Structure 1
Amino acid sequence: MSNRLRYLLILTIVVVVASLSSWLLRSVEERFVKGPEVVSRSPDYFMENFTATALNTEGEADYTLQASYLAHYPHNDSVLMRKPFMAVFRDDLTPWSMRADEGLVTEHGRFVELGGAVTLQRGKTARHPLLTLNTRDLRIDTRLKTAETEAEVEITQPGTRIRARGMRIDIASGSLELLANAEARYDVR
């Protein structure tokens, strides 16, 4: 083989190897050098002084949620609220109302976590007096209509004060379960 042909063959091999190396380097850079996609922890929208009403399958109001400020975070699809107020409606019964310092809505509205100081009230009816509960860090399951906390709770109604640690409420039926260390004081008149 002549020197010129040998030189041309070596040059062709070098060009092919260089082209393959360049292509391989670009594909590796695209995959690994860029790293994972950066997820923004900033809200994608916010609202001030909002009211939202969730409807049940019959098209009736299930619960209403209000807050002075709401911000939606797309990275985990959560909603952060300031000074939330929530009213959970019950079939032909007085609704439960809840106020808190802050709130977090997760799982597409299934769970509402009320944080800081939380006040719950069941309105006065012909059969029951006004019932007020003060606690912290309450978790509400809007689908099951339950609420629970592990924090201290104080329950008051005219002539009665009860303190306990932790509680569960079945909002639909109105039943309340105290979890530990319950103490009651009754005013006799």
Structure 2
Amino acid sequence: MIRVIRQGWDQLSIYLPVLLMGLLALGTWWLVRNAPMPQLPAIDRPVKHQPDYFMKNFSVKSFDATGRLQSEVQGVEARHYPDTDTLEIDRVRMRSIGPDGRLTVATADRALSNADGSEVQLFGNAIVTREPLPAKPGAPAQPRMEFRGEFLHAFTNTERVRSDQPVTLTRGNDRFTADGMDYDNLDQVLQLRGRVRGMILPGKK
């Protein structure tokens, strides 16, 4: 009896490594099957130039800390594009009131503004008007100014207006036309480029 058991054990010991390898393979298969799948890196898909929200017949106003109106933007329709973080406005009208109370109005068939409104491009029948400012102690009067063209590029923070297309500038009774311009309101410098024509009327005595 003991001999039979020993022979059976010897035979089992021969197949024991194969049995253990089978169990190990089965355990490995079970672990792989039930282990959580690793998260694959997200595939960067190109962002399409499509608006993510609209506004129609809108008016947006901004005020300073004292409640004084600083600016207002109106339009028939506005579209925000997330890929460029820009706002496109149809039939835009913008009003801005400076610290000195001077009113600036801009209108156009279409406008394109960056995220913070520091750059605004005006397309089609673009007009930027700065209303006159009366004289104050130590500061002379400022006449009405108007820029006209099919394209005007306004930089609100630095108070500059540029264009690489024909423009018409009217300052008081004076009138100029040019193929392009760069106006710096802070430095009171106007550069006209290309074919420049002007009409300057004598001031009132």
Partner residue in 2 for 1:8: 20
1:132 to partner: Cα distance: 3.0
SS of residue matched to 1:96: strand
Instruction: Describe how 1:30-179 pairs up with structure 2 within 5 A.
Output: 30-32=39-41, 35-36=43-44, 39=47, 41-56=49-64, 59-124=67-132, 130-156=144-170, 160-171=174-185, 173=186, 175-179=188-192
1:187 to partner: Cα distance: 7.5
- For structure 1, which segment, 103-112 or 124-133, has the greater mean C-alpha deviation from structure 2 after superposition? 124-133
Q: Which sections of structure 1, spanning at least 5 residues, go unmatched?
A: none
1:63 to partner: Cα distance: 2.3
RMSD between superposed Cα atoms in Å: 3.4
Relative to the length of structure 2, the TM-score reads 0.68
> Which structure dedicates a bigger proportion of its chain to strand?
1
- Separation in 1 of the partners of 2:157 and 2:126? 20
- Separation in 1 of the partners of 2:94 and 2:121? 11
Relative to the length of structure 1, the TM-score reads 0.73
1:40 to partner: Cα distance: 6.1
- Separation in 2 of the partners of 1:17 and 1:105? 59
- For structure 1, which segment, 66-75 or 40-49, has the greater mean C-alpha deviation from structure 2 after superposition? 40-49
Residues 89/188 of structure 1: CA separation in 2 closer, same or farther (3 Å cut)? closer
Report if aligned partners of 1:136, 1:149 keep a CA contact under 8 Å in 2.
no
- Separation in 1 of the partners of 2:195 and 2:73? 31
Report if aligned partners of 2:147, 2:167 keep a CA contact under 8 Å in 1.
yes
Report if aligned partners of 1:77, 1:108 keep a CA contact under 8 Å in 2.
no
For the pair shown, the structure with the greater C-alpha radius of gyration is 2
- Separation in 2 of the partners of 1:124 and 1:7? 99
Q: Which sections of structure 2, spanning at least 5 residues, go unmatched?
A: 1-12, 135-140
1:19 to partner: Cα distance: 4.1
Residues 16/80 of structure 1: CA separation in 2 closer, same or farther (3 Å cut)? same
Equivalent residue letter for 1:148: R
Report if aligned partners of 2:119, 2:156 keep a CA contact under 8 Å in 1.
yes
Report if aligned partners of 1:165, 1:178 keep a CA contact under 8 Å in 2.
no
Equivalent residue letter for 1:181: G
- Separation in 2 of the partners of 1:86 and 1:58? 21
- Separation in 2 of the partners of 1:176 and 1:136? 22
Report if aligned partners of 2:70, 2:97 keep a CA contact under 8 Å in 1.
yes
1:14 to partner: Cα distance: 5.3
Report if aligned partners of 2:109, 2:123 keep a CA contact under 8 Å in 1.
yes
Residues 161/143 of structure 1: CA separation in 2 closer, same or farther (3 Å cut)? closer
